[in-house]
Structure 1
Amino acid sequence: MQVPMLVTHFLDRGVKFYGPKTCIVDGEKRFTYNQFNERVNRLSNALIAEGVKQGDRVAYIGPNGHRILEAYYGITQIGAILLCINIRLSSEEIAFILNHAGAKVVCVDWEYANLVADVANKLETVTHFMLFTDGHRPEGIDWADYDTLLEEASAERPVRPEMDENDVAELFYTSGTTSRPKGVMLTHRNLYTNALNYIHMLSVTDADTQLHSVPLFHVNGWGSPHGITGSGATHIIVRDFRPQQVLEAIQKEKVTIGAMVPAMVTTLLNYPEADKYDTSLWERMIIGGAPVPISIAREAQEKFGVECYQAYGMTEACPMLTLATLKDNLKKLPFEEQLAYRAKTGKPVFGVELRVVDENGKDIEPNGEDVGEIIVRGNNVMKGFWQDPEATAKVIIDGWLHTGDIANIDKEGYVQIVDRGKDMIISGGENVASAEVEMAIYKFPAIMECAVIGVPDPKWGEAVKALVVLKQDMPATEKEIIDHCATLLSKFKLPRTVDFVSELPKTGTGKLLKRKLREKYWAGHERKVGG
């Protein structure tokens, strides 16, 4: 027997077994599984009334909130495709994505409505706009009110069309660096297998409460909701990341699972009043988007009592590829060595075949030293790029997705990314992994954040430069930081210069934008600026 793996199964299971249980907490709003299911059905019926059919694209533009979870199911259960768009993009970038994807309906939060209104006359396929007002309506925008449409729609589940597990369910556009963004097609099967992995790898049950602090429109955010819903656990949503709001939610809602990027964890650790909150039930935290300094994992466990695990993934892989949970034999190691393993990129999750290969496509030795490119395949890997077979063929070669990430692998099978291929610094003919230098800098007590890039150098081609943000009331000098690195790194890897900055440019999820850092140094030079 073959039954298609559809994301709607996760909602159906949650409703069947946990109907009266709290499903979502969004500020002052609380919804049981039954109430959430009714809103999902109302959204589906409202979209059908607007003429949405199977295969149509429906866009969501807004911050975290219960409505994005409604979109996950209300759009997909009628066979339409959810198109999540990053709220940090410009109006022109949003217009490109909406046109390229051929979106029919746009659901947009009031705070970001002007981004769409500014380019509404350039949108080629959009026929309807649905506005989340929450009591706010920007001037000059007379779009249909989302909640009014839901109130007027039936709460009965619509007839679901026949769907195949290989149908596209969600469409996410990757950020462009030297070219336009590309639409990643994720199928029901991709999302289903990723959700099962999330449930298994984190031992998720209906007793769990997950905090969604990472934007749910982004790769680091949307990897968990289906697994949480299918398990009967509870979603705790914060609209944006503010340390007080996050810590209050962790305490009040008894959060057990969280997902963050390193910059978010650092912000919580440096929040002056962090110690006054009860985080004793917070057991598991997934950290992704950037390498996790061991010092951050240690401090988070000491301050909050939470065990941190590095995760690695990408939009093209739905996203989870590895998770640094410990094998049983590693749990017998001293605490510091366990931390070092939990801060590694991790071991492949179920259903993911992962190799690290050299420039000839040969697997490297698992000695923790040799490096190569990570290539992967599995049921979670994307169908391809939307309307771009040429770009798809450049990254999926002979059935393997080439990630562009440079890594080593140790005898236990744990992968450690040393850099993005485009972030590797070539100085005097030697390869310098920026992530390795960053890890060394993070061991200096005064460092809150840092980024390492290569800058033009007439003698060496590229020189290593560090940009650092210092902790409050903890001064440091360039010489002190370089001398510190000299105790940990080879001479050719040392920063030649250190710039002190008040902040580092980041994406909407807190991931460093090294492209922005490099731009001013490489203007007028031949090296192409990477992402």
Structure 2
Amino acid sequence: MQIPLTVADFLDRAEGGFGDTTAIVDEPVAPGRPVPTTTYRGLAARVRAWQAGLDALRIGRGERIAVLSQNSARLLELLYAVPASGRILVPVNFRLRPEEIDHVVGDCGASVLLVDPEVQQAVGNLAGPKCFVLGEQTEAEVMRFDTEPRRWVAEDENTTATINYTSGTSARPKGVELTHRNIWLNAMTFGLHGRIWEGDVYLHTLPLFHCNGWGIPYVLAGVGATQVVVRRIDGAEILRRVRDHGVTMACGAPAVWNLVLDAARRWDGEIPGRGRMRIVSAGAPPSTRTIARVEEELGWQFLHVYGLTETTMLTFNRVRDDGRPPVRRAASLARAGVPALGVRIRISPDGEVLARSNMALKGYWGDERASAAALAGGWFHSGDGGVLDADGQLVLVDRKKDVIITGGESVAGSEVEDCLLGHPSVAEAVVIGVPDEKWGETVKALVVLAEGGSAGEAELIAHCKAQLAGYKAPTSVEFRESIPRSATGKVAKGELRAPYWAGHDRQIN
């Protein structure tokens, strides 16, 4: 017997086995009226109300529902509701600028756009999809609490469940198609390696638009774990939520944990969660110093994963407490880790990390050429450089693609360069990632001014911020007389990056 694996399995089990367990605690001050704290039985009822509402709007199977929102209970509900009704969810990065949002919504051909009240202005006047504001409007005009939705019976687990847009190396984000099978297996694999169980209380510090919160909301529902939503990342507020809700687990980029460490220095009393809290770091390799401080100063267990939007989880690093000094343990945890169950990793002759996995993408939405290139030879080409050490651990050493990861967000260098070249005073521009203690990496622009050009650093940064999401803008600009190039005319980015990474044992941070 073979039954298709679908995301509906997780909430179905939660409703049947953990119906009276607290499911979601929403952000208490969220605009648009927070969702009252609900049980898994109540969550399942709200999910069916969403599905019945989409039925009433005549949104058919396979149509795309785009959602632009910070972390919220409603976004969580839609992660369960939309794919489990045979439709495709498109979680959009709420930090993008209107032009970028317009591209994503248009590229996926969304039939409906659901927008958080706080980012409503970023949408502007998008043409095409029906648009609703999450909260009072969607509860009145979309959700149908008195109607049972049409039941979707999955015939193929390889049906696309979500499209998650990634910056990659191109100026335009590409839509990563993840199937029900991809998401199901990722959830179960993460649950196994992360030891997620019904006694967990999970804090959503990780943006849910990032690969569906790495797929963790599904396994949390499957085991009946409580989920607490935090809308904005603030170190002191994270500590308060850990204390007030008995949080046991959270995920996020190293920059998040650096904010918590800074807040802990000013915290009055015992650090919440000491001895019970575990965190999973990803989005950028953590520094040894950050890992050691988390375990020593907070008393939290530090775990490390590596993956991409296209692959979800590839490796998992959990180091046993074997009596070694914290600094030595931290050095081991800074590695990407051992391939996750079912994942195969090898290093290409030119040093690129290649992977095979049941969790890897179906393809890029509407882009067969990019899909073929990414999956050439039956392996996913990560664009990251790495080595497998003697222990079988993956160690990342460089980034083959032109991608900067700052605070867990991916920035395509070519996109920022294109923006800079739109300024009349700029003749040439190269964007690189340089190490930064707070954000892991930060965006640096190397600029050659046009003849007669007079723009300064502040002006060029402001120019980028006016056209791109704030995290994509350079944090510093260095003016050069010329840009070094290879014999074939290519910019020698490795040569340009080298001075800033001197003293580091790898070219990412």
TM-score (norm 1): 0.76
Residue aligning to 1:111: 118
How far did residue 423 of structure 1 move? 6.1
Residue aligning to 1:149: 141
Residue aligning to 2:176: 184
Q: SS of the residue aligned with 1:402?
A: strand
| CA distance in structure 2 between the partners assigned to 1:300 and 1:233 by the alignment | 24
Which of 44, 69, 76 aligns to 1:69? It is: 76
| CA distance in structure 2 between the partners assigned to 1:378 and 1:388 by the alignment | 21
Residue aligning to 1:492: none
Does residue 323 (structure 1) correspond to residue 316 (structure 2)? The answer is yes
Output the amino acid matched with 1:380.
Answer: M
CA contact 1:518–1:529 (8 Å) conserved in 2: no
| CA distance in structure 2 between the partners assigned to 1:150 and 1:178 by the alignment | 36
Does residue 283 (structure 1) correspond to residue 277 (structure 2)? The answer is yes
CA contact 2:254–2:440 (8 Å) conserved in 1: no
How far did residue 26 of structure 1 move? 1.0
Which of 84, 88, 94 aligns to 1:81? It is: 88
CA contact 2:204–2:227 (8 Å) conserved in 1: yes
Residue aligning to 1:386: 365
Higher RCO (C-alpha under 8 Å, 6+ residues apart): 2
1:132-531 matched pairs, under 5 angstroms: 132-133=134-135, 145-149=137-141, 152-154=144-146, 156=148, 158-175=150-167, 177-219=169-211, 221-271=213-263, 272-276=265-269, 277-280=271-274, 282-317=276-311, 319-326=312-319, 331=322, 333-359=324-350, 372-422=351-401, 438=435, 448=438, 451=441, 516=474, 525=483, 527=491
Residue aligning to 2:22: 22
Instruction: Please say which of residues 279-288 and 85-94 is displaced more in the overlay.
Output: 279-288
CA contact 2:114–2:133 (8 Å) conserved in 1: yes
CA contact 1:423–1:453 (8 Å) conserved in 2: no
How far did residue 518 of structure 1 move? 7.8
CA contact 2:305–2:313 (8 Å) conserved in 1: yes
How many residue pairs were aligned? 436
Output the amino acid matched with 1:342.
Answer: L
Output the amino acid matched with 1:12.
Answer: D
| Compared CA separation, residues 243 and 164, structure 1 to 2 (3 A) | same
How far did residue 393 of structure 1 move? 1.2
How far did residue 341 of structure 1 move? 1.4
| Compared CA separation, residues 452 and 26, structure 1 to 2 (3 A) | closer
| Compared CA separation, residues 291 and 191, structure 1 to 2 (3 A) | same
How far did residue 424 of structure 1 move? 10
| CA distance in structure 2 between the partners assigned to 1:523 and 1:96 by the alignment | 35
State, as a whole percentage, how many aligned pairs show the same letter. 31
| CA distance in structure 1 between the partners assigned to 2:181 and 2:242 by the alignment | 32
Q: SS of the residue aligned with 1:186?
A: strand
CA contact 1:214–1:220 (8 Å) conserved in 2: no
How far did residue 334 of structure 1 move? 4.4
Query: After superposition, what is the alpha-carbon deviation per residue over 1:43-102, rounded to whole angstroms, capped at 9, x for unaligned?
Result: 000011001111000011010011111111211121000011001111111111111111
Q: SS of the residue aligned with 1:23?
A: strand
| Compared CA separation, residues 519 and 11, structure 1 to 2 (3 A) | farther
Residue aligning to 2:10: 10
Residue aligning to 2:501: none
| CA distance in structure 1 between the partners assigned to 2:445 and 2:119 by the alignment | 36
CA contact 2:43–2:77 (8 Å) conserved in 1: yes
| CA distance in structure 2 between the partners assigned to 1:224 and 1:312 by the alignment | 15
CA contact 1:38–1:156 (8 Å) conserved in 2: no
CA contact 1:404–1:420 (8 Å) conserved in 2: yes
Query: After superposition, what is the alpha-carbon deviation per residue over 1:6-37, rounded to whole angstroms, capped at 9, x for unaligned?
Result: 01101111111100000111134311000000
| Compared CA separation, residues 20 and 224, structure 1 to 2 (3 A) | same
| CA distance in structure 1 between the partners assigned to 2:195 and 2:298 by the alignment | 20
| Compared CA separation, residues 509 and 343, structure 1 to 2 (3 A) | farther
TM-score (norm 2): 0.79
How far did residue 218 of structure 1 move? 1.2
| CA distance in structure 1 between the partners assigned to 2:325 and 2:79 by the alignment | 42
CA contact 1:107–1:132 (8 Å) conserved in 2: yes
Q: SS of the residue aligned with 2:106?
A: helix
CA RMSD for the aligned pairs?
3.1
Query: After superposition, what is the alpha-carbon deviation per residue over 1:160-216, rounded to whole angstroms, capped at 9, x for unaligned?
Result: 243411000000111255431111000000000100011100111100011101210
| Compared CA separation, residues 50 and 85, structure 1 to 2 (3 A) | same
Q: SS of the residue aligned with 1:164?
A: coil
**Long gaps (5+) in structure 1:** 135-144, 360-371, 426-433, 459-500
Q: SS of the residue aligned with 2:215?
A: coil
| Compared CA separation, residues 454 and 67, structure 1 to 2 (3 A) | closer
Instruction: Please say which of residues 17-26 and 274-283 is displaced more in the overlay.
Output: 274-283
| Compared CA separation, residues 202 and 449, structure 1 to 2 (3 A) | closer
Q: SS of the residue aligned with 2:80?
A: helix
CA contact 2:97–2:122 (8 Å) conserved in 1: yes
| CA distance in structure 2 between the partners assigned to 1:331 and 1:450 by the alignment | 28
